Amino acid sequence: MCGRGADGHWHGTIGVNVDATALWRLGLHPGQPTSVVAEASPPAWWHAAGERYATRRGQ
């Protein structure tokens, strides 16, 4: 996300495109299986604590 708006909510996104030949050089190719989530997502309080921590460090 790019930043916070006047209402405090995050806004904007950044997209990244990579040439397929660059991925081949890194050993990544279309024949590989896709990644999957191995575990459940952390609880909501964990995310909230991370956001509070990040906000304090920015001051």
Give domain limits for the chain.
1-25
Say if residue 59's pLDDT is above 70.
Answer: no
State pLDDT tens for residues 8-34.
Answer: 787 777 788 888 788 888 777 777 777
Single-letter residue type at 13: T
Higher pLDDT, 31 or 42: 42
Give residue 1's pLDDT.
57
The CA-based angle 41-33-46, given to 5 degrees, is 10
CA distance 24 to 50: 35
